[in-house]
Chains A and B, each alone.
Chain A
Amino acid sequence: MKNRLAHFIFVFAAIIFAVLFLAPLWMVISGGFHDANGFTLKYLAGVFKNPIYAEGLLNSLCIALGTTTLVCLIAIPLAWMANRFDFAGKKLVSALILVPMILPPFVGAIGFQQMLGPYGALNALLGCGPIDWLGQNQYFGVIMLQALGLYPIMYLNAAAALANIDPAMEEAAANIGCRAWRRFFKITLPLTMPGLFAGGTIVFIWSFTELGTPLIMNYTRCAPVQVFDALKEIGSNPFPYALVFVMLTASALLYTASKLLFGRNSYAMQSKAATVSATREVSGLRGALVLLPFALVIFAALTPHLGVILTSVSAPGSWYQTILPASFTSDHFVAALGHDMTISSIRNSLLFSSLAVFFDIILGIAIAFVIVRSDIRGRGILDALAMLPLAVPGLVMAFGYLAISSQISNQEWVKNSPAWQQLFDVRVNPTLFLVIAYSVRRLPYIVRSAVAGLQQTSVTLDEAAANLGAGFLTRLRKITVPLIAANLIAGALLAFAFSMLEVSDSIMLAQRTEFFPITKTIYELFQLIGTGRFIAAALGVWAMAFLAITIAGSSALLGKKLGAIFRA
């Protein structure tokens, strides 16, 4: 890649980051860096001096390490088996394996409790009395629930990386007498490393800063919950901002460190998986043995989803000390899907998320190019920077965007022009800011996927085309993007699904009913006392069904070549 172009993309991406991410972020966290006398570092120092915050950071780090390890243990073997074997039920498990990541907010917690609460389905099934599964051993509970929710990210990245491997490599190793086990560690694992690194870092930073699961488990001694607690506190407290800054810095450092440790050696292949027949058919008992771990993981991970689905069809109060609800009803679906907020919120969510993903793909490919294909200085910074949006609490970003919008819309030129107001004033129309918020927060998935794809693909293919006189854009369109399409689709699916489920930005930026996205409608329905959580669960089920069909559809309709990652 020409350095001039690389520099241009670098500067362009840096400006976009500065304006759309760092500026709103700084608007909020600068509160942790000044007092009545001006700039101060005392709050930052206070975070480290205060053993409570230090303990929270350490706990978060351990949770992240534990979650990432568990996720690797779950996802890598599964992805490998899906890549290698053909077995009965593979189509079904391939479709279901990604579903656990699409748990709708708010009602997800209810799903957990209905299944695992003292009077929940599990205890009714075991008949062992009111064990409080969620009320004890929170620390390990958080790790386990996070791992079961996040393994699809790793699975998707690992599957994409495995799909990219040229079977000729392994065949060559087998030819010269390399045994299966050794082949895995010497050939397969190193070749998939970019994908595993992509998945692993996302899972790591995600679980380092995850708020929802610790809240469900009532585990309070970790940094994200401490930030949330302090932000929600009555009155003003500068510490959460300083703590966010520390979390961000820690995430960037941890990312850089893990890149030095694991992300160094990437081996690009001259050719991609040209043969798709590398799978081996296993049937009978051996087939069942392969199917079993899939079934177990999916079943465990889908527990809360099952809870949400059953809640959405149970009459209030009828699912109590029983395995299944005692009486079923479709009323909640009628109420939820018929609500006047629902249709517009579906439309809004689709619009905001698609625009965000579109924007992410363009920016993501550009950034990945600079990171992988250029040797300009500072590309490592761009790489780490692209991961940071994962580490910022949603609430903080939401406050930031709100503040920016409010500042712009109080300018005279905006005040006097309805068109500018439509664009910049979230009170009038939050579309621009929601799209920005979604795309900034979900950019890391696409950047990581694209980087992994580029690392696995040899630059010589691109160079060959250049030799033949193809221009940059032609090469991009005809050579590079098709070669990394599997990775891009994987990243785009994650980005789309999680944009649809984005919480804090949606709640704060969409203020008028006609602009509510689906998560805000779920939140609003959830707030209704009495039947609220049932109706919200019904809409949550709809959202899950929609995302599940999107994932299944993209694998079926995009065809074998593009959908290599879902190759069944």
Chain B
Amino acid sequence: MKAKIVILLAAVLIIALPFLLRRHETAAPADALDLVIVTPHNEAIRHEFGRAFSKWHAANYGQPVRVDWRAIGGTTEISRYLVSEFLNASRPWWKKLGNDWPATANDSLLDGKFATTNSDSMSQLWKKFRDTDDAKQFSSRVDLFFGGGEYDHSRMAAQGLTVVPWPKGSEPTNLFYAADGTPLIPEKISGETWRTPIMQGNAIATFGICYNTDRLRELGLTNAPTSWEELAQPIYFRQLGVADPTKSASIAAVFELIVQQKCLAAVHAAGFNDAQISAFEKSPTNAPAEYQQAIERGWADGLSLVQRIGANARYFTDSSSKIPVDVGMGNCAAGLCVDFYGRYESQYANASTTNERMGFVIPATGSRVSADPVSLLRGAEHRELAVRFIEFTLSEDGQKIWCYKPGTPGGPEKYALRRIPIRRDFYPSDNPALNARHLEHLKYAADNLADPNINPYAIASRFEYHARWTGKHFGVMRDIVRAMCIDSSDELQKAWPAAALNPEHLAALAKLPTLPEPLTWSSSLTLQKKHDRMDLMLAWTEFYRANYRTLAPRPRRRKLPKTGTLRRPNFQPLESEISNPPSQIPVTGTLHDENFQPLDFVSSVCLLGLLP
């Protein structure tokens, strides 16, 4: 009986607790207009933008807005969801017009590269679908896609799912250009597309390195990493958190940047200066053979650098937030991550300590500056309101939400979002009018917008992007990284510590696949067209696995390590290891050591106390 009473009381307490702690939020007024937005953004961003837009709309158009956020996961889920919605919505519409639904429609309707002819029904459907933007005809019943990367928005545009919010020439004044004609939101910057007529970049994501100083100290490193090259040193073996480029277009863009920079280094090393480079890139047919060869070399160098970073990876994750959290907790020594995640986690990791436990840097050689856009979906039921939302997010009022401290005038209410706004007038400028606005924003911003490591215009100016070098290789490089680092990670990690000590092995490690034919900068583009993607990936993966196996030291009989050796040895790197690029790391004996083998299972079980 006593037990029953205790259980009953506990149950009552557990159920009552949420009711006792409940906070009442103000519900949207009854006359509010509805707007439906699908987004991968988190609750903080949804809350602040929903609230701020409603307020802005009430002030400018007299009515508040209730944003109906549809949060169904990440961009993969959203993309599938919208494809499914559009196919299911257009089928009854097409049949109602008296047509048959072509058998190939599910595959071809949203294929941006579908070749239309004049007569067949599939072409008719394809064209008619793209000519129709009317909720009464068909609609996904979602108005906007907000957030996600430029890649996702471009893909949806190619699929025909999104439409232009403003007809050409009727864009709101003062949104894209200042009164004196200075661009406020450029269309392109250092290889990144920030806006097109169909999608509007909104906040910027830059990429950098987050690190845990305690872990670095244990590895014998005194300075934080400041370049991608440093992360390729064998001292970081199994210490890096890396995102999976096949699942995140933005991390794929970081790898592209690494390869770009290697191409530039190779072209410089071959004796070409910047003036020559821009001349040759304008008319590549005039470029001498040595110049092309230098790009080929640089491209291979870049992949080799990516390979070595991949060899140091503890994992390739699909979750962008996992890496900074792991670094903050000390599970990884360093990782590649987006600016706001890195800075935010650092703040929290350092909250209860006086020394800097975690930090975040943008590499000195620059970073990608990718935009998170917003796009209007075809057949939006609340089209007018949706277009106003786009206008709001691009206006100064909307941009303040991204970067102001909570509670500041015009800023967010509860959460500091700490995202980097896209508008030029938030950053230092030679233009006095723009700079005056910048100084005003600086007063309330959560981060120092004048910091050249935050200002995306400053970061972008650190390097010039050459589209011909890597632009078309974007897709194929992702597949190479997958085969080279992810699908063959076990073999790579067995080969890497030993190979790192031997220049010959290092060169062998970097060998590019020779099957089905030699992979080079120029062949990679034609290879994709000639072969099925899956066959190609398989051939590459098998090549890499086999290659790594030949480089791995022969397995020795594993002995149960003595208790004292369970602990991983600390590497004591030479000064030169830290300052030199990894290809020139001198041979030392500390790395290939059987102590390095993973902890024995039996000992780990015993230590966990599972086997008494």
Contacts and interface: CB of A to CB of B under 8 A. Distances in A.
Interface in A297-348: 299-300, 315-318, 320-321, 326-327, 333-334, 337-343, 346
A346 B604 contact: no
Nearest to A525: B43
A300 B604 CA distance: 13
Given A46-B534, A119-B214, A507-B72, A137 B88 contact: no
Contact of A527 (B3, B321, B331, B566): B321
Contacts of A460: none
A134 B70 CA distance: 35
Interface stretch (A2-10, A161-169, A232-240, A253-261): A232-240
A137 B601 contact: yes
A36 interface: yes
A231 interface: yes
Contact of B91 (A144, A234, A318, A410): A410
Contacts of B325: 110, 533
B7 A556 contact: yes
A458 interface: no
A276 interface: no
B88 A316 contact: no
Interface stretch (B280-288, B298-306, B346-354, B364-372): B346-354
Q: What does DSSP make chain B's interface, helix, strand, loop or mixed?
A: helix
B487 A52 contact: yes
A296 B612 contact: yes
Given A136-B599, A300-B609, A410 B89 contact: yes
A181 B394 CA distance: 77
Given A117-B331, A118-B215, A530-B348, A427 B70 contact: yes
A39 to B, nearest CB: 11
B527 interface: no
A528 B44 contact: yes
B490 interface: yes
Contact of B92 (A412, A507, A545): A412
B70 A511 contact: yes
Interface residues of B, number: 100
A232 B318 contact: yes
A262 interface: no
A396 to B, nearest CB: 11
B25 interface: yes
A557 B6 CA distance: 12
B329 A234 contact: no
A218 B314 CA distance: 8
Interface of B: 3-4, 7-8, 10-11, 14-15, 17-19, 21-25, 42-44, 68-74, 76-77, 80-81, 84-85, 88-89, 91-92, 103-104, 107, 141, 151-152, 214-215, 218, 238, 244, 246-249, 314-318, 321, 325-326, 328-331, 340-341, 344-345, 347-353, 357, 415, 418, 478, 486-487, 489-490, 534, 538, 541-542, 566-568, 598-601, 604-605, 607-610, 612
23 contacts: A110-B325, A117-B329, A144-B610, A221-B490, A232-B247, A233-B76, A296-B609, A317-B348, A317-B352, A318-B351, A320-B329, A320-B357, A326-B352, A341-B43, A410-B88, A410-B92, A507-B73, A524-B43, A529-B344, A529-B418, A530-B345, A553-B11, A557-B7
What are the 7 tightest A-B residue pairs by CB atom distance, in nearest-first order?
Answer: A136-B598, A119-B330, A218-B315, A527-B42, A338-B21, A337-B21, A316-B348
Interface of A: 36, 38, 46, 50-52, 91, 110, 113-114, 117-120, 122, 126, 128-137, 140, 144, 218, 220-221, 228-229, 231-234, 237, 239, 292-293, 296, 299-300, 315-318, 320-321, 326-327, 333-334, 337-343, 346, 399, 402-403, 406-407, 410-412, 427, 507-508, 511-513, 524-525, 527-533, 542, 545-546, 549, 552-553, 556-557
